[in-house]
Every structure is written in structure tokens, then in C-alpha cells.
Amino acid sequence: MDTLEPILQEHPFLMGLNPGHIKLIVGCASNMRFDAGQKIFQEGEEANAFYVVRSGKVALEIYAPDRGSLIVETLGAGDILGWSWLIPPYQWHLDARVVELTRLIALDGKCLRKKCEEDHELGYELLKRFASIMEQRLEATRMQLLDLYGERD
Amino acid sequence: MANVIETERESKGVLTVESMLPLRFRINRVRKETHDAFTLDLEATDGAAACKFSPGQFNMLYMFGVGEVPISISGNPETPDTLVHTIRAVGPVTKALRTVKRGEFLGIRGPFGSTWPVAEAVGNDVVVVAGGIGLAPLRPAIYQLFAERERYGKIAILYGTRTPADILYRRELEQWRARFDIEVNITVDRATSNWRGNVGVVTNLIPKATFDPYNSTVLVCGPEIMMRFTITALQKRGVPLDHIYVSMERNMKCAVGFCGHCQYGPFFVCKDGPVFSFDRIKDWFYIREL
């Protein structure tokens, strides 16, 4: 039977993890498919997963009462979606809306949290990888805030 | 004979009468591109010489009675009969230029400055990274790449701008996107949920673009901060610094390396630039307020 192991072990996010850890992670993984317009998760909901985007496009949105849904960022093939499963209170801070047919691998956050508590080496490896993604997203957000293309004084 | 002497002097970047004398150009068309950017199609009335240019070069546009500004040429070098400038209205002269109408005249000096290394990139992959109005100085290079498409490897155009409404040359970008031999990726900094494209900074597009970092020529134009982060992202991909070219912007006045207003370390941006190999200017690029 085909497993998600070959896909996950070659993904840059998990590359370099020892085979035992990959097996643990694969045990928490499942394939998912969303059509355009569907929500993968919504702000305020419990965050119990993260996702490896295999194809398609996902918009991360914040709803502003007087302005509607504003897209903060879009993610596509190869990107990692979601880190709120890792940090208490395990709640999504954004909506993830599918822009076009999207295929993902969902990783069960509850299952992974338990495994990380039991195996700190796995926990540290995952945290290092998520910290790197957070750093990239923070840097990108700072650049967006700079309003680089706006009118200069 | 006088012309020969002046040509020789000009090639050394020395002030000449010709380089300081604006020629009269008639405005044949004014197009609104975005809320603050517009394109002028101009035709020479005093002789066609000033229409010939290479991608990356700029002209000094003189709005009579208002002043002169350096503006990159954004048209097709293969069609020199029409001189095309896309301008963003940000200062007194460019704001005044926004009011011009078809049939009116501008003074033009140029073309000046260095060029994108389009011919030198033959055989390589080419990545064009543009931010905001920075797409305008790159468009002539894109036209030239398309004109001899078979001579290049992969071509990727990565464009970032503020919002969907700020996308420059929207129709043309859509046409380029429809081609199978070019990768075109556009991203905006902010958008509402009816936008189906990418949201995020232009540097996010670099890790996903298809090109061989060791055999690529990368052309970058946009605000200096954007170019800084772009260079970091290109370095992460493994692009050698001498394969990266940037277009610098400084306060250019005479345009021939005479007045010194655009001095940038040991260079004059008007004469030695605006296009530089990043390797050549890397020692000055990170010095603040230079």
C-alpha cells in the first residue's frame, strides 16, 4: 500500500529528519482535497493540524467588519500552512480559504503534540523548522508593512 | 568634423552642447496605467536620433517652464519611431507631466546611461524581478528577450506591487502569462478576497521560480529596500553576485557625469549606471544615506 512517507521525507520542510521521526509523522498524516471557496479552517476554531500544500492556492484572511475579508498572504505548492496547533491556546488566528482546487497533506496536531511530548528530539526538530517558517513570514510581513511601493514623502 | 569630436567627447562622458540640448518631441498618446502612473508615447520632431536606445537607459524629460526629470525608457527598442515613457506622478515635474495632452510638446535629452545585459545573457536563464514602477525600466529588456526567445534558457518574470489596482501593464502581463515559454508570477502586498492571484512580497516568488541559479542572469528593479531583500533571496538560491544586475536611482541632473548630483561612491549613476552589476556596487549598496 502506498504511504505518504516518500512525499513527506522529500519535502524541504522535513528533509534531514531521521527515518524514525518521519515514520512517526507519517502516522499522523492524511491526504485532503478542497475545492475553490471552501474554508480549511476559520479564525477562532481549535487548531489541531498543520498542512503541507501539494497543489493549488490558499488565501490566509482576516475579517475586518467594515472592510470585509482581507488577504494577508497566499500559499501554494510546497508551502506549510498553519502553526497554531503548536502554540497554546491552539486556536486559529486567521481564516484559510481555498482560492483554487487544493490538495494537501494534513498532519494531525493533537497526535503530533503527544509524540513531541514523548520524544523531545522530535519536538525540537519540528520547532526548529516551524521557527524558520515563522521567521520568513515575519520578515515578509515587515516588508508588507513598509509599504515599499507607496508614495514617498 | 565638429560632430566627430563631440561624439568622442560624449563617449568619455564629458559635457557637450548636444547632450545638454533638449530636442522637441510631440506627445502622440497619453495612457493612464494606474491611479498615479501614466505612459506617454512621443515622436521626435527635430530628428529621430534620440529615439534609438538600449534597454535600461533613460532620458531627461523637460516639461517647459516646470523642470526636468530623469525617466527610464519603457518602450520597445525594436520600434524606435515611438519613444515610450511610463511615469509615476510623485514630484512637481512628474505631477505636471500628468497634465500633458496629446499634441503638446516636451523637451527630451538622451538616451543616457548603461544598459541591461540582455545580449550577455544569451544561453542563460533570465530572471526579471520588478517591484512597483520598476517594471517600466525592465520592459524594454523583456521585449528584447522575447524578440530572440530561442537564444535564452528559461525566462521568469516576477512582479510585486502594492495592490491589484497598482499592477502596471496589466494587459501585457496577461499576454505574457498566456505564453508557454515564459513564467510570469505576480504578487501584491494587499488585496481583498475577490483577488485570485498571489498576496505576499515579491521575494516569496524567488524560491519557487524555475531557473538554474548558477546559469542565470537576474535583472532587478524597484525600491532600494525591495532590491536589498531580493538580493538576499537570490543569494539563498545560490545566484552569484556578478549574475545580478540592479538599476539604481539617484538625483540625476546633468545626466552626463558632470554635475555630481548622482554620485554613488566612486560612480555617477547617470553615466556609470543606472544599471550596475551588483558585484560592482556591493561595497556601497549597504552604506546608509549614500
Give me the DSSP letters along B136-187.
Answer: HHHHHHHHHHHHTGGGSS-EEEEEEESSGGG-TTHHHHHHHHH-SS-EEEEE
Contact: A78, B208; criterion CB under 8 Å: yes
Helices B278-285 + B224-237 axis angle, to 10:
120
Compute the distance between CA of residue A134 and CA of residue A140 in angstroms, rounded to an integer: 10
Please confirm whether the linkage preceding A89 is cis (ω < 30° from 0). yes
Asked if the C-beta of A7 comes within 8 angstroms of chain B's C-beta atoms, the answer is no
Which residues from A are below 8 Å from B233, CB to CB? none
- Please give the pLDDT value at position A71: 93
Average pLDDT (B140-161) is: 96
Asked if the C-beta of A149 comes within 8 angstroms of chain B's C-beta atoms, the answer is yes
Asked if the C-beta of A27 comes within 8 angstroms of chain B's C-beta atoms, the answer is no
Q: Name the pairing type of β-strands A39-41 and A95-108.
A: antiparallel
Q: Is the ipTM of this complex over 0.85?
A: yes
pLDDT band at B192, cuts 50/70/90? confident
Please confirm whether the linkage preceding B274 is cis (ω < 30° from 0). yes
pLDDT tens-digit readout, B11-43? 444 556 677 888 899 999 999 999 999 999 999
Contact: A150, B162; criterion CB under 8 Å: yes
Average pLDDT (B171-178) is: 95
- Please give the pLDDT value at position A153: 47
- Please give the pLDDT value at position A1: 47
> Which residue among A76, A146, A151 sits closest to B225, beta carbon to beta carbon?
A146
Which residues from A are below 8 Å from B189, CB to CB? 144, 147-149
Compute the distance between CA of residue B19 and CA of residue B254 in angstroms, rounded to an integer: 9
* Mean residue pLDDT across chain B: 89
Segments of chain A with pLDDT less than 70: 1-2, 151-153
In chain A, which residue's Cα lies nearest the Cα of B192? A70
Which residues from A are below 8 Å from B160, CB to CB? 149
Which residues from A are below 8 Å from B192, CB to CB? 67-71
Report pTM: 0.90
